[in-house]
Amino acid sequence: MTDSSVPLAEAGGRLLIDLQAISDNYAQLAARVAPAACAAVLKGDAYGTGLEPAATALWNAGARSFFVALLAEAKRLRDLLPQAEVFVLNGLFAGTEQVYDQYDLRPVLCSQDDVARWQDYCAGIGRPLPAALHVDTGMNRLGLSATEAIHLAEGRDEFRFPLALVMSHLACADEPDHPLTARQLEDFRAVAALFPGVRASLANSAGALGDKSLHFDMVRPGIALYGGRSRRDTPPLRPVVRLELRIVQVREVHEGETIGYGAAQTARRPSRIAVLAAGYADGIFRLAGASDGQPGAEVVIAGRRCPLAGRVSMDLMTVDVTDLPEEAVRPGDFATLIGEGIGVDELAGHARTIGYEVLTALGRRFHRRWV
């Protein structure tokens, strides 16, 4: 599948998204957590890989429950997958109740106010519509407190809608043996026990790849499906994204001259510099650039790793190709920034961030192909 909005001949780079790898990663996780169900998180345009293609691949691989952050994403998903169970994580925004109803979507209720408004809506239309409940166990981001959950459970007979899921979110599962994970697990066990017969879900990717005790009835992986690292102690599953950037020019730089903005890097020898047609406007972080004191990210050209030289600019970046044979680097060739052994997490490390941010930042100016 190709997004023809940017023809390859006009694009500064091409982004190849391996849908088979997404399916394989799903199958691997689903097998690992069985008999727990494996849902899929599709927020952030499926972590930059494209909501529709990723959702189709995941549905075909057997996923039936999906999580997105926002209602707009959920509506797109519903148009694509009429049978899917779709949860919206960011809470029930006032005035959107009717949209959930119309599209058969499940709000993840995150506060007492959310619960009250859903109750009122269901009472008003005289139909009990299922919703999920998010209970906070130590993340301190979204969710009712444990005390609020207890109050709610005690008055449960008054519920005018069925609970489809009770969930919480792990803050530190990427760090094996972080003490907060054990505390959250214990608290979530107590929360889940308040709602017997309701499916329970705690684990993100790191939890799904962690101990079985974290799996409950359903796991909610995101990053692991898209080939990013989720735990310090576990290598990522199959890589999904490959990014190749167009070489627009190769130039000679004399020893002692500087390269790019801020004259941040000085040529220590007569050098050849390849100029690539992508930069921070495409989501390639400026922090991944190089300076005299600090090497930056690398790209692969003609099978060899080459270091960035100088800063990443808005639409361009520069690479030292002095060590490659002259005929190996020509304008019109492509340099691989993600792929050929360079993972999203390696690139993220050079930009002092995480694979999640690299994937979701990848811009819309690339030629995109789903294979």
Ligand X SMILES: *Cc1c(COP(=O)(O)O)cnc(C)c1O
The residues that are catalytic are: 43, 261
* Tokens standing for residue 156: 């449960």
Nearer Cβ to ligand X (44/260): 44
Using the rule CB under 6 A, is 137 a contact of ligand X?
no
Nearer Cβ to ligand X (206/309): 206
Find the Cα–Cα–Cα–Cα dihedral 181, 184, 186, 191, rounded to 10°. -150
Q: How far is the CB of 283 from ligand X (least distance, A)?
A: 18
Nearer Cβ to ligand X (13/236): 236
One of 56, 65, 137, 205 touching ligand X (CB under 6 A): 205
Q: How far is the CB of 78 from ligand X (least distance, A)?
A: 19
Using the rule CB under 6 A, is 46 a contact of ligand X?
no
Using the rule CB under 6 A, is 40 a contact of ligand X?
no
Size of the site for ligand X (CB under 6 A): 13
Cis amide linkage into residue 107, ω under 30° from 0: no
Q: How far is the CB of 40 from ligand X (least distance, A)?
A: 9
Nearer Cβ to ligand X (223/335): 223
Q: What share of the chain is helix, strand, coil (3-state, %, to 5)?
A: 35, 25, 40
Q: What does residue 66 show for φ and ψ, rounded to 5 degrees?
A: -135, 145
* Tokens standing for residue 33: 């957590």
Nearer Cβ to ligand X (189/369): 189
Interior angle at CA 105, CA 213 and CA 359, nearest 5: 65
Using the rule CB under 6 A, is 41 a contact of ligand X?
yes
Using the rule CB under 6 A, is 221 a contact of ligand X?
yes
Q: How far is the CB of 22 from ligand X (least distance, A)?
A: 13
Find the Cα–Cα–Cα–Cα dihedral 45, 48, 49, 52, rounded to 10°. 10
One of 106, 220, 229, 368 touching ligand X (CB under 6 A): 220
Alpha helix ranges (H) inside the chain: 19-33, 43-47, 51-60, 71-80, 97-103, 112-125, 146-154, 179-194, 205-208, 344-350, 355-361
Largest CA distance in the chain: 79
One of 89, 132, 146, 344 touching ligand X (CB under 6 A): 89
Residue 64 counted as an annotated binding residue? no
Using the rule CB under 6 A, is 344 a contact of ligand X?
no
Nearer Cβ to ligand X (56/230): 230
Q: How far is CA 30 from CA 73, 176, 202, 231, in A?
A: 24, 21, 15, 17
- Backbone dihedral region of 272: left (phi > 0), alpha (psi from -120 to 50 degrees) or beta? beta
Site for ligand X in 141-180 (CB under 6 A): 169
| Strand, coil or helix: 135 | strand
Using the rule CB under 6 A, is 230 a contact of ligand X?
yes
* Tokens standing for residue 183: 């505390």
Residue 232 counted as an annotated binding residue? no
Report the residue number whose CB is nearest to ligand X. 222
User: Which amino acid is located at 314 in the chain?
Assistant: M
Which residues contribute to the site for ligand X (CB under 6 A)?
Answer: 41, 43, 89, 169, 204-206, 220-224, 230
> Annotated binding site for substrate: which residue ranges?
141, 314
